[in-house]
Chain A
Amino acid sequence: MIEIKNIAKTFHKGTINENRVINDLSLRIEDGDFVTVIGGNGAGKSTLLNLLAGSLEVDEGHIYIGEKEVTKMKENKRAKYIARVFQDPQSGTCKDLTIAENMSIAQRRGKVRSLKKGIYREEKAVYKEKLKELNLGLENRLEAKVGLLSGGQRQAVTLLMATLVKPELLLLDEHTAALDPKTAKTVLDLTNKIVKENRLTTIMITHNLKDAIAMGNRLIMMNHGRIVYDVRGEAKQKLEVKDLLRLYDQEDAGLSDVMLFG
């Protein structure tokens, strides 16, 4: 269970550019929930994810993962509980290391890095099997530098890496936004598969309203740093894109960045 209690975050505090990005936000996510998050630019979606992951620190409020309070915990410590896939396909992997080496880094997420060997033969065999499940032919390229992969392949590998050690929370920040439609679909299908198989508690930001409705069991809409709409279960399944668009209108959120698919 993830619990966020009355958190707030202001950028450029005390200056003329003061910007209250997250505004007294509370949210409780049950184990196994798959939450999609929508909202206009500047609604605070990415900031929320960064606060959860610890890349940013909250000004006020508390964050709990299970029973544990992580509000003040540093990003690299919190990584023990949280795995992320970023929007930029380059962000989730290291281009100068091989696929296998990247996976070995993820395999040790949350552990102290010692002077033990960075990767063992037996590990590689496991990674090979895991890569096979992606159906991208990457199982034969274990020793290839990740920099040689396409954006879609890199996101797929990043997803796999995020789940090598089961996280308490998986954060997906528009992780298909930089991909072409076909690749985006492959990665989304893969996301669904991995989340289901591992019963991962997941938060996914997306600008694609269709995906936001189709994926997950709960949908949240953000505006001005608050949650303005929260729907789950059957009610969510019945949603249509036009319903959400109407909400955007009501919330005077800019429509400019809403992708109208379907």
Chain B
Amino acid sequence: MTSILISALSQGMLWAIMAIGIHITYRILNISDLTSESAFALGGAVVATAIVLGIDPILATVLATISGGLAGFVTGFLHTKLHIPSLLAGILSMTGLYSVNLRIMGKANIPLNMSDTILTKLSDLLGMARDRDAAILLGVIVAVIVIVLLIWFFNTEFGFSIVATGSNDQMIRANGVNSDLTIMAGLMLSNALIALSGALVSQYNGYADVGQGIGAIVVGLASVIIGEVIFKNKNFFITLVGIVFGSIIYRLIVALVINLDFISANDMRLFTAIIVAIAISLTTFKKPRKVKSHD
């Protein structure tokens, strides 16, 4: 039982970064960005290829993060400059990236269990017996850094502009902001975080797989929504912490469900999709009516 808990905790922490990335596009920019699926795999592909080439795992993880930002840039370019609808732009990126990921990796799967990763480094440093324990610590460290940076960023002039673009791009243009730029920045930031998460998860799993991003967006959404249900506060800090908890809770649910006799691991995607469908419909049903004051 403890091992299930620890596994859920460590996986939840590492996937939480991805969910935070999803939050930026889905909730802040109001775009359902499917680039996420391939950006997650891209992060794994880049980190694994780099590590196998002998690059330091920390630097490899940074490279993976940057590669995700580039993926977001491509989607942003398709959407804002070529005027392709955001959903389709994401699908195009996702589809194209699949081939790019295979090119980077050279094969569909790269094992990492013989190589040094961020996790082995961290557990060696702290003298930990198992890499899984290091995963939780690493997840906490990365989550704290990401949350602090995001809170700072979204309280800057540029951060305000991104939030405003998501809820009202007419308003932000009328106030002199190039909304193409803010959309682009949001997509890059989101996919950079998603690729970072993909890179961490690959190192945790001990391999990178070209298919590891399939269904990622739904997992991310599930975490975002579980977080919103638990923490109803709309404060940005609480929202982000809520997503981390949402991600961990999602992993716990998965761990419990997968132990049921009549459910096999193959059913998980269907199960997740159903959870998200129910959760989204519940949150929209429950949404309090807009408060209208009389003046």
**Does the CB pair B171–A91 fall under 8 Å?**
yes
Query: Could you tell me which residues of chain B, from 109 to 163, have a CB within 8 Å of some CB in chain A?
Result: 153, 155-161, 163
**Does the CB pair B164–A79 fall under 8 Å?**
no
* Other-chain residue from B158, B164, B168, B290 in contact with A115 (beta carbon distance below 8 A): B158
Q: Could you give, for residues 101-138 of chain A, a 1 whenever the CB lies within 8 Å of some chain B CB and a 0 otherwise?
A: 11011101111011111110000000000000000100
**Does the CB pair B172–A96 fall under 8 Å?**
no
In the assembled complex, the Cα of A105 lies from the Cα of B172 at a distance in Å of: 8
**Most central of A91, A114, A117, A118 by chain B CB within 10 Å:** A118
Q: Could you give, for residues 72-110 of chain A, a 1 whenever the CB lies within 8 Å of some chain B CB and a 0 otherwise?
A: 001111011001101000111111110001101110111
In the assembled complex, the Cα of A80 lies from the Cα of B103 at a distance in Å of: 47
**Does the CB pair A105–B173 fall under 8 Å?**
no
Q: Which residue of A lies closest to B292 (CB)?
A: A150
Chain A residues bordering chain B, tally (CB within 8 A): 46
Q: Which residue of A lies closest to B28 (CB)?
A: A96
Q: Which residues of chain A have C-beta atoms less than 8 A from B177's C-beta?
A: 76, 79, 105, 113
**Does the CB pair B171–A117 fall under 8 Å?**
no
Q: Which residues of chain B have C-beta atoms less than 8 A from A92's C-beta?
A: 171, 174
**Does the CB pair A53–B163 fall under 8 Å?**
no
**Does the CB pair A116–B157 fall under 8 Å?**
yes
| B205: Cβ under 8 A from any A Cβ | no
B165 → chain A closest CB, angstroms: 9
Q: Which residues of chain B have C-beta atoms less than 8 A from A106's C-beta?
A: 175
**Does the CB pair B160–A101 fall under 8 Å?**
yes
**Does the CB pair A150–B168 fall under 8 Å?**
no
**Does the CB pair B159–A118 fall under 8 Å?**
yes
Q: Which residues of chain B have C-beta atoms less than 8 A from A108's C-beta?
A: 157, 175-176
| A216: Cβ under 8 A from any B Cβ | no
In the assembled complex, the Cα of A111 lies from the Cα of B291 at a distance in Å of: 33
Q: Which residue of A lies closest to B155 (CB)?
A: A118
In the assembled complex, the Cα of A42 lies from the Cα of B157 at a distance in Å of: 38
Q: Which residue of B lies closest to A78 (CB)?
A: B176
**Most central of B168, B178, B291 by chain A CB within 10 Å:** B168
List 9 tightest A-B contacts by C-beta distance, closest first: A79-B176, A94-B164, A113-B157, A118-B160, A110-B176, A113-B158, A96-B167, A115-B156, A109-B175
- Which of A's residues lie within 8 Å of B, judged by CB? 53, 55, 74-77, 79-80, 83-84, 86, 90-97, 101-102, 104-106, 108-111, 113-119, 136, 145, 147-150, 152-153, 161, 183, 186
Add 6 more A-B contacts to A94-B168, A94-B171, A102-B164 (CB < 8 A). A79-B176, A104-B157, A105-B172, A115-B153, A115-B158, A150-B292
